Homo-oligomer: A and B are copies of this chain.
Amino acid sequence: MDAENPLEKALARALALPCSSDCPPRLAEALQYSVCPGGARVRPKLVLAVAQACGGADMNAALSGASAIEMLHCASLVHDDLPCFDAAAYRRGKPSVHVAFGERLAVLAGDTLIVEAFNVVAAHPDMIRIIAQAVGAPHGICAGQAWECEDRMDLVRYQRAKTGALFAACTMLGAVAAGRDAAPWRQCGMLIGEAFQVADDLRDVAGVSGEIGKPTGQDAANGLPNMVSTLGFDGAMHHLENLLARVTQSTPDCPGREALNAQIVAVSRALVPKQLHRGAA
């Protein structure tokens, strides 16, 4: 991980106080372990990309929003991996937090990351509201995860809440950091989230474990819905391309719109395992 990268530096700054010498040492370790090294950092990069595309953004505000989003994403992974949920032993190519530090510290590291994420954007009331909506209830990650606990799952709400809402927050935060109205940026964020979910489903079924840093076939193992089992490989690939076309139509007008769209499409395609690109017609 490039420590000179502004996003990584912002995340390091956000963790500096919580992980300072006054912190119980194993909690501090678990917090660092939960956030660094990261995965693709797709979500915070989206915040920054939208802020840049809008032009004239306060990049410090954008970095705060991006850090908060990534910390909340990491918190959701740590809690999702717990034995009572997915009982996932690996994440990002290493033992998951509860395996490395025990269940108690995994619960606490997730809780702490939620708290510190809000602290990072304390100065920005608009960002707090956007983020709370994306991670709380009734439409955020917590609600999404809670659909898994219902006898009857509302699949559309489930995927929008569990994946789409945080992506919508990314595009909205980028716009807010550039002093723009957030609302027009919700729809393209939700569609990016939907595309990302399809790419993730393809990875889960077809991915090589070493390539994606976690075991494959987890959706089937956990009885979770997966677009590939519904549409087949070709159908899912086709659906992904359709979604990306809708994303590029839905991004609001802004100075860097074309470059932003190209970046979103490239990043989404890169998430799909290589052999599927070779195999796709």
Contacts and interface: CB of A to CB of B under 8 A. Distances in A.
Contact of A24 (B107, B116, B136, B149): B149
Contacts of A132: 115-116, 118-119, 122
Given A85-B104, A114-B115, A142-B112, A27 B122 contact: no
A11 to B, nearest CB: 15
Contacts of A110: 111
Contact of A136 (B79, B107, B116): B116
Given A122-B125, A132-B122, A143-B24, A137 B112 contact: yes
Contacts of A125: 122-123, 125
Contact of A84 (B21, B26, B104, B142): B104
B111 A23 contact: no
Interface in A179-228: none
A244 interface: no
Contacts of A147: 24
Contacts of A103: 84
B82 A136 contact: no
Interface in A107-134: 107-108, 110-112, 114-116, 118-119, 122-123, 125, 128-129, 132-133
A137 B113 CA distance: 9
Interface stretch (A12-20, A51-59, A231-239): A12-20
A22 interface: yes
A119 B114 contact: no
A33 B135 CA distance: 20
Contacts of A119: 128-129, 132-133, 136
Contacts of A133: 119
Nearest to A120: B132
Interface in A7-50: 17-28, 31
Interface of A: 17-28, 31, 75, 79, 82, 84-85, 102-105, 107-108, 110-112, 114-116, 118-119, 122-123, 125, 128-129, 132-133, 135-140, 142-143, 145-150, 157
